[in-house]
Structure 1
Amino acid sequence: MNEAGATTAEYAVGTLGAATIGAILIYVGLDPWYAELLEDVIQHALDPTGLLKHLESLPRPGQE
């Protein structure tokens, strides 16, 4: 069996798949709900009070 063009076809399918996933991410990223969700996640990640509350809830060594 001659597989001379198999590698080229595999690269073509991989490139098409990556471009499709990229297009879907761009489409989803342009929706307003996604922007709001992303903004909410960033605000919670940068909120120092949330980190302190999380650290306070962790068990400490020697305390049961």
Structure 2
Amino acid sequence: MQRLLITIGIVLVVLGLLWPLLTRLGLGRLPGDIMVEREGFRFYFPLMTSIIVSLVLTLLFWLFRK
């Protein structure tokens, strides 16, 4: 359990450090992401971004298990 918590912490720190670089990839502005903007209201649901991140993580976990 401790190893898992340390690993999750390290991953979060690395993602935090790489965040400025990740924003340049265009994730969050893909076709398929739902954005509704009205006066005084903004709704954003990153549907396609979530699917792509899920597929990449699934592939990585699958590769590390082998």
User: TM-score, normalised on structure 2?
Assistant: 0.36
Larger CA Rg, structure 1 vs 2: 1
Q: Which has the higher strand share?
A: 2
Q: Which has the higher helix share?
A: 1
